[in-house]
Structure 1
Amino acid sequence: MRLMMEVVIPVEKGNAAVSDGSLQKAFEDFEKEAKPEAAYFFVREGKRAALFIFEAKHQGELVRLNEPFFIALHAEVRVTPVLVAEELQGNLQVKA
Protein backbone atom coordinates (compact mmCIF):
# COMPACT_ATOMS: atom_id res chain seq x y z
CA MET A 1 0.00 0.00 0.00
CA ARG A 2 1.23 3.49 -0.84
CA LEU A 3 1.50 5.79 2.16
CA MET A 4 2.12 9.47 2.73
CA MET A 5 3.99 10.26 5.94
CA GLU A 6 4.24 13.80 7.26
CA VAL A 7 6.81 14.45 9.98
CA VAL A 8 6.70 17.73 11.95
CA ILE A 9 9.59 18.50 14.30
CA PRO A 10 9.36 20.88 17.29
CA VAL A 11 11.63 23.92 16.84
CA GLU A 12 13.84 23.47 19.92
CA LYS A 13 14.40 19.75 19.32
CA GLY A 14 14.94 20.42 15.63
CA ASN A 15 17.58 23.06 16.38
CA ALA A 16 19.42 20.67 18.69
CA ALA A 17 19.11 17.85 16.14
CA VAL A 18 20.61 20.00 13.38
CA SER A 19 23.51 20.91 15.68
CA ASP A 20 24.30 17.34 16.73
CA GLY A 21 23.61 15.73 13.32
CA SER A 22 20.70 13.59 14.50
CA LEU A 23 18.17 15.29 12.19
CA GLN A 24 20.14 14.40 9.08
CA LYS A 25 20.77 10.88 10.40
CA ALA A 26 17.06 10.31 11.10
CA PHE A 27 16.13 11.35 7.55
CA GLU A 28 18.95 9.31 5.99
CA ASP A 29 18.02 6.22 8.04
CA PHE A 30 14.37 6.57 7.03
CA GLU A 31 15.27 6.90 3.36
CA LYS A 32 17.49 3.80 3.51
CA GLU A 33 14.76 1.79 5.26
CA ALA A 34 11.58 2.98 3.49
CA LYS A 35 13.08 3.88 0.10
CA PRO A 36 10.48 6.60 -0.54
CA GLU A 37 9.52 7.37 -4.13
CA ALA A 38 9.36 11.06 -3.13
CA ALA A 39 10.66 13.14 -0.23
CA TYR A 40 9.88 16.82 0.35
CA PHE A 41 11.15 19.12 3.09
CA PHE A 42 9.34 22.32 4.07
CA VAL A 43 8.12 24.52 6.94
CA ARG A 44 4.73 23.71 8.54
CA GLU A 45 3.42 26.33 10.98
CA GLY A 46 6.94 27.55 11.70
CA LYS A 47 8.38 24.06 12.28
CA ARG A 48 10.64 21.87 10.16
CA ALA A 49 8.63 19.27 8.30
CA ALA A 50 9.04 16.46 5.80
CA LEU A 51 6.65 14.54 3.58
CA PHE A 52 7.47 11.08 2.25
CA ILE A 53 5.60 8.87 -0.22
CA PHE A 54 6.53 5.20 0.11
CA GLU A 55 5.23 1.64 -0.14
CA ALA A 56 4.58 -0.61 2.85
CA LYS A 57 3.45 -4.22 2.64
CA HIS A 58 2.28 -4.50 6.25
CA GLN A 59 0.98 -2.01 8.82
CA GLY A 60 3.48 -3.36 11.32
CA GLU A 61 6.29 -1.77 9.28
CA LEU A 62 5.08 1.62 10.48
CA VAL A 63 6.28 0.98 14.01
CA ARG A 64 9.84 0.50 12.76
CA LEU A 65 9.57 3.59 10.52
CA ASN A 66 7.80 5.95 12.96
CA GLU A 67 9.66 5.28 16.19
CA PRO A 68 13.00 6.85 15.22
CA PHE A 69 11.21 10.13 14.45
CA PHE A 70 9.37 10.01 17.78
CA ILE A 71 12.45 9.11 19.80
CA ALA A 72 15.20 11.14 18.10
CA LEU A 73 13.20 14.22 17.09
CA HIS A 74 10.08 14.25 19.31
CA ALA A 75 8.22 14.60 16.01
CA GLU A 76 4.53 14.48 15.23
CA VAL A 77 3.97 11.80 12.60
CA ARG A 78 0.88 11.47 10.39
CA VAL A 79 0.45 8.55 8.01
CA THR A 80 -2.25 8.49 5.33
CA PRO A 81 -2.93 5.89 2.62
CA VAL A 82 -2.79 7.53 -0.82
CA LEU A 83 -3.52 6.60 -4.45
CA VAL A 84 -2.13 7.76 -7.77
CA ALA A 85 -4.64 8.90 -10.39
CA GLU A 86 -4.65 5.56 -12.22
CA GLU A 87 -5.48 3.69 -9.01
CA LEU A 88 -8.29 6.10 -8.24
CA GLN A 89 -9.77 5.91 -11.73
CA GLY A 90 -9.53 2.13 -11.76
CA ASN A 91 -11.52 1.88 -8.55
CA LEU A 92 -14.18 4.58 -9.00
CA GLN A 93 -17.63 3.21 -9.52
CA VAL A 94 -20.48 5.54 -10.34
CA LYS A 95 -23.90 4.15 -9.51
CA ALA A 96 -26.90 5.59 -11.26
Structure 2
Amino acid sequence: MRMLFKASMDTERSNELIRNGKIEGLLKAHLEKIRPEAAYFGVEGGKRTCYLVLDVQESSDLPKLAEPFFMELGAEVQYTPVMNIEELRKGLAQLG
Protein backbone atom coordinates (compact mmCIF):
# COMPACT_ATOMS: atom_id res chain seq x y z
CA MET A 1 0.00 0.00 0.00
CA ARG A 2 1.28 3.44 -0.89
CA MET A 3 1.82 5.58 2.22
CA LEU A 4 2.72 9.17 2.89
CA PHE A 5 5.22 9.05 5.74
CA LYS A 6 5.82 12.30 7.61
CA ALA A 7 8.55 12.77 10.20
CA SER A 8 8.78 16.08 12.06
CA MET A 9 12.21 16.22 13.70
CA ASP A 10 12.99 17.45 17.18
CA THR A 11 14.60 20.87 16.76
CA GLU A 12 17.30 20.51 19.42
CA ARG A 13 18.32 17.02 18.34
CA SER A 14 18.40 17.94 14.65
CA ASN A 15 20.32 21.15 15.46
CA GLU A 16 22.99 19.07 17.17
CA LEU A 17 23.17 16.63 14.24
CA ILE A 18 23.58 19.55 11.85
CA ARG A 19 26.30 21.13 14.02
CA ASN A 20 28.32 17.90 14.15
CA GLY A 21 27.77 17.13 10.46
CA LYS A 22 25.87 13.88 10.97
CA ILE A 23 22.33 14.63 9.78
CA GLU A 24 23.03 14.25 6.07
CA GLY A 25 24.65 10.85 6.57
CA LEU A 26 21.81 9.62 8.80
CA LEU A 27 19.15 10.67 6.30
CA LYS A 28 21.08 9.32 3.31
CA ALA A 29 21.65 5.93 4.94
CA HIS A 30 18.03 5.56 5.97
CA LEU A 31 16.67 6.64 2.57
CA GLU A 32 18.98 4.17 0.82
CA LYS A 33 17.52 1.38 2.98
CA ILE A 34 13.86 2.20 2.48
CA ARG A 35 14.02 3.49 -1.12
CA PRO A 36 11.06 5.88 -1.16
CA GLU A 37 9.25 6.69 -4.42
CA ALA A 38 9.75 10.36 -3.52
CA ALA A 39 11.38 12.33 -0.68
CA TYR A 40 10.75 15.96 0.17
CA PHE A 41 11.97 18.15 3.01
CA GLY A 42 10.46 21.31 4.44
CA VAL A 43 9.10 22.93 7.57
CA GLU A 44 5.75 22.17 9.20
CA GLY A 45 4.63 23.50 12.55
CA GLY A 46 8.03 25.11 13.01
CA LYS A 47 9.87 21.76 12.76
CA ARG A 48 12.13 20.32 10.08
CA THR A 49 9.93 17.79 8.34
CA CYS A 50 10.59 14.94 5.95
CA TYR A 51 7.83 13.70 3.63
CA LEU A 52 8.30 10.30 1.99
CA VAL A 53 6.07 8.39 -0.41
CA LEU A 54 6.55 4.69 0.24
CA ASP A 55 5.14 1.41 -1.01
CA VAL A 56 4.58 -0.54 2.21
CA GLN A 57 4.06 -4.26 1.56
CA GLU A 58 3.33 -5.41 5.12
CA SER A 59 2.24 -3.58 8.25
CA SER A 60 5.18 -5.28 9.95
CA ASP A 61 7.44 -3.04 7.79
CA LEU A 62 6.29 0.09 9.64
CA PRO A 63 8.64 -0.20 12.64
CA LYS A 64 11.76 -0.47 10.46
CA LEU A 65 10.62 2.67 8.62
CA ALA A 66 9.80 4.74 11.69
CA GLU A 67 12.25 3.68 14.40
CA PRO A 68 15.34 5.42 12.97
CA PHE A 69 13.37 8.69 12.86
CA PHE A 70 12.16 8.20 16.44
CA MET A 71 15.50 7.09 17.85
CA GLU A 72 18.01 9.19 15.91
CA LEU A 73 16.02 12.36 15.23
CA GLY A 74 13.48 12.45 18.05
CA ALA A 75 10.82 12.78 15.36
CA GLU A 76 7.07 12.76 15.54
CA VAL A 77 5.93 10.30 12.86
CA GLN A 78 2.67 9.90 10.95
CA TYR A 79 1.59 7.46 8.22
CA THR A 80 -1.27 8.18 5.83
CA PRO A 81 -2.52 5.83 3.09
CA VAL A 82 -2.45 7.65 -0.27
CA MET A 83 -3.21 6.88 -3.92
CA ASN A 84 -1.91 8.04 -7.26
CA ILE A 85 -4.44 9.06 -9.92
CA GLU A 86 -4.58 5.61 -11.51
CA GLU A 87 -5.38 3.99 -8.16
CA LEU A 88 -8.04 6.62 -7.46
CA ARG A 89 -9.65 5.96 -10.85
CA LYS A 90 -9.66 2.22 -10.19
CA GLY A 91 -11.25 2.74 -6.78
CA LEU A 92 -13.89 5.12 -8.13
CA ALA A 93 -14.74 2.67 -10.93
CA GLN A 94 -15.56 0.04 -8.31
CA LEU A 95 -18.31 2.25 -6.88
CA GLY A 96 -20.53 1.36 -9.82
TM above 0.5, yes or no, is yes
After TM superposition, give the deviation of residue 25 of structure 1 in Å: 2.6
The residue that corresponds to 2:42 in the other structure is 42
After TM superposition, list the pairs within 5 Å mapping 1:1-96 onto structure 2.
1-92=1-92, 93-94=94-95
After TM superposition, give the deviation of residue 21 of structure 1 in Å: 3.3
After TM superposition, give the deviation of residue 13 of structure 1 in Å: 1.1
Can you give the 5+ residue segments of structure 1 that lack an aligned partner in the other structure?
none
After TM superposition, give the deviation of residue 94 of structure 1 in Å: 4.3
SS in structure 2 at match of 1:83: coil
SS in structure 1 at match of 2:59: coil
Q: CA RMSD in A?
A: 1.4
Moved more, 33-42 or 22-31: 22-31
Percent of pairs with identical residues: 35
- Residue pair 1:4, 1:80 contacting (<8 A) in 2 also: yes
Can you give the 5+ residue segments of structure 2 that lack an aligned partner in the other structure?
none
Letter of the 2:3 partner, please give it: L
After TM superposition, give the deviation of residue 58 of structure 1 in Å: 0.6
1:76, 1:20 → 2: CA distance?
Answer: 22
1:56, 1:38 → 2: CA distance?
Answer: 13
TM-score by length of structure 2 reads 0.89
SS in structure 1 at match of 2:8: strand
After TM superposition, give the deviation of residue 37 of structure 1 in Å: 1.1
TM-score by length of structure 1 reads 0.89
Point out 4+ residue stretches in structure 1 off by more than 2 angstroms. 20-23
